[in-house]
Amino acid sequence: MKHVARKRFGQHFLSDTAIIDAIVAAIAPSPSDAMVEIGPGLAALTQPLVERLGRLTVIELDRDLAARLREHRLLDVVESDVLRVDFTALAARWPGRKIRVVGNLPYNISSPILFHLLDHVAVVQDQHFMLQKEVIDRMVAAPATADYGRLSVMLQWRYAMENVLFVPPESFDPPPRVDSAVVRMVPLVQPPAMDFRTYGDLVQTAFSQRRKILRNTLGRWLEARGFSGDFDLQRRAEEVPVAEYVALAQAVRT
């Protein structure tokens, strides 16, 4: 029976074989990899991956699709909401190895998934995700550009990222109303040491009213924490490089 895409799960199934081949080439899987796929759906990407890997762990929320996937003898199926999956515990299946995470992420919860994986980045080798193109544009954006924002700052401190492939709507069934792309995310080997909760609060405050200069937003936040160091508050949030936000978070008392 043909599976009908379910809107509540944000399902858009990849169907373009040329795009699938290009994604697999970008991921470059090898038999020694410990790989986890989020949202395998109808297995368009899953099958060529598992052919190169020999075995693949997949996370699927849709119970009907999970049942189909269990029939594949080379797949280990985790039937769950990805936001409830403990990737650190999952990585323990491969002692001494880090996991490679891939997937066509549901557009309606892509940012929560990215932030959830931040909590488990220590066990991740790399991530390759298909996302809405405008989301990836924000992830990789440089300071002082229209796309640079909270998502850019929250991810760039921890990952080296690049947009590796454009994916048009007609590559899916049903076609989404937006362009898609594939992003590569590689955790930094020596990330800066800081209190992540402080960093998150700082960045959220800075971008809460991004058209105002920081003196009117972040200035009050810093004053409440007794900060007396040097930081130029006569800028807007999008003008501040990631390294300066990191340095500020390191200097603030927690």
Q: Which residues participate in the annotated binding site for S-adenosyl-L-methionine?
A: 12, 14, 39, 60, 81, 104
- For residues 150 and 135, the answer to whether their CB atoms sit within 8 Å is no
Q: Cα separation of 32 and 99, whole Å?
A: 11
As a whole number of angstroms, the distance between CA 62 and CA 56 comes to 18
**Which residues contribute to the annotated binding site?**
12, 14, 39, 60, 81, 104
Report how far residue 107's alpha carbon sits from residue 109's, in angstroms, rounded to the nearest whole number: 6
Alpha helices in the chain (DSSP H): 17-27, 46-53, 63-70, 87-91, 110-118, 133-139, 150-156, 196-206, 218-224, 242-251
Residue for token pair 């069934």: 173
Please report, to the nearest 10 degrees, the dihedral formed by the alpha carbons of residues 91, 129, 200, 137 taken in order.
Answer: 160
- At 116, the amino acid letter reads H
Name residue, tokens 């924000």: 138
3-state secondary structure 109-174: HHHHHHHHHHCCHHHEEEEEEEEEHHHHHHHCCCCCCCCCCHHHHHHHCCEEEEEEEEECHHHEEC
